[in-house]
Amino acid sequence: MSRNVAKRKRIYLKEKPAEKIGAEHFELREEDVPEPKVGEVLVKGLYISLDAAMRAWMQGRTYRSEVDAGVVMPGLLLGEVIESRDPSLPEGALVEGDMGWQDYAVVPARSLMRRKAMKPLTHLLSAYGITGRTAYFGMMDIGRPKPGDVVLVSAAAGAVGSLAAQMARMAGATVVGIAGSDKKCAYLTETLKLDAAVSHRDKRFFAALQEACPNGIDLYFDNVGGEVLEAALFLMNERGRVVCCGAVSQYDAAPGPTPGPRGIPGLLVVKRLEMRGFIVMDYAARLAEADGRVASWIAEKKLAVPEDIVEGIEKTPQALIGLLHGENIGKRIVKI
């Protein structure tokens, strides 16, 4: 087919942040679109998935290689094949892959995953993407909530936290969410129907957390690390479980020592706590299981999927910065 596109917009990591990340660390460039070679496809980007871990990628090797200055900022892109030189991916195919922040990408067909269209399409990056799968395996497989448990979830109005908290509620647990504003706390209790919510910006945060969890905490789903993790550990019940999903409070921190958590070794021993980290790729063989469970919960209207859509590829850097500052409720996605 005639693609009718000669230029593309690509956002580069211009400079690695030494401290806080800002718009000045990125650069938008317009470049020619190359012809795909044999085995390659040209993809028109539709949506970009934004995740707080993108900031951590700039600090060193994590579960992926470190992102260096001078490259197109990596990230999951959902798009449509508009020109193909590989029979495995015909024109019109819906695909996703680590194609980065760009509106047109030329990549090897073998590097992409074909997806089935649905409504809304953005659910492929939230409920049926890394977000939903992370919430499912972290909460249901590692956390194992049960009736009678008190479950605490940090960043509970965020992408993963909002889904994980609802899953714990469906399991019959008493669920308390931690968020960064009164507005988000109200969302957690009024819309997601959590039992209580506490703002980590409350000057009396620890006391408020004690009041929300008067019988202690059996399961803590941690998305933030730092002082919030420390506070939760001191309120854990004996033989409690801690699921370490993320550490967003540390990702955009200045170099040097970071606050909290203190006293971990003693608390783990005295309270006989189980504390475990994970990444969703650990469960690559079980992704269909997660998608199936999530689909049934959505169909039964038991699981709400909050999404925060930002329009315009040029707004992607500021959208990531806003995500790190806690602007979003639910999964933040850029509509190209």
CA–CA dist 213, 208 (Å, integer):
9
Q: What is the pLDDT of residue 1?
A: 42
For the segment 150-187, what is each residue's pLDDT rounded down to a tens digit? 999 999 999 999 999 999 999 999 999 999 999 999 99
Angle at 45 between CA 40 and CA 47, to 5 degrees: 140
Parallel, antiparallel, or unpaired: how do β-strands 40-49 and 104-108 relate?
A: antiparallel
Please state the separation of Cα 64 from the chain's center in Å: 15
CA–CA dist 259, 229 (Å, integer):
10
For the segment 188-199, what is each residue's pLDDT rounded down to a tens digit? 999 999 999 999
Beta pairing partners, 143:
none
CA–CA dist 4, 273 (Å, integer):
59
Mean pLDDT of the chain: 94
CA–CA dist 235, 271 (Å, integer):
10
Q: What is the pLDDT of residue 249?
A: 66
Backbone dihedral angles phi then psi of residue 196, each to the nearest 5 degrees: -160, 160
For the segment 205-253, what is each residue's pLDDT rounded down to a tens digit? 999 999 999 999 999 999 999 999 999 999 999 999 999 998 876 666 6
Q: What structural domains does the chain harbor?
A: 7-125+307-335 (3.90.180.10), 130-281 (3.40.50.720)
CA–CA dist 139, 221 (Å, integer):
7
CA-based nearest residue to 7, from 106, 107, 104: 104
For the segment 83-126, what is each residue's pLDDT rounded down to a tens digit? 999 999 999 999 999 999 999 999 999 999 999 999 999 999 99
Burial class (CB in 10 A: 0-12, 13-18, 19+), 128: buried
175-213 exposure pattern, b = at least 16 Cβ within 10 A, e = fewer: bbbbbbeeebbebbeeebebbbbbbbeeeebbebbeebb
Q: What is the pLDDT of residue 256?
A: 55
Tell me: pLDDT of 59 over 90.
Answer: no
**C-alpha distances out from residue 47 to 7, 56, 125, Å:** 18, 21, 8
CB atoms closer than 10 angstroms to residue 299 = 9
Q: Which residues, in sequence order, are CB contacts of 236 under 8 Å at separation 6+?
A: 216, 217, 218, 220, 242, 267, 271, 273
For the segment 256-311, what is each residue's pLDDT rounded down to a tens digit? 556 667 767 778 898 999 999 999 999 999 999 999 999 999 999 999 999 999 99
Counting runs of H as helices and runs of E as strands, what totals does the chain give?
10, 15
Mapped onto helix, strand or coil, the DSSP state of residue 316 is helix
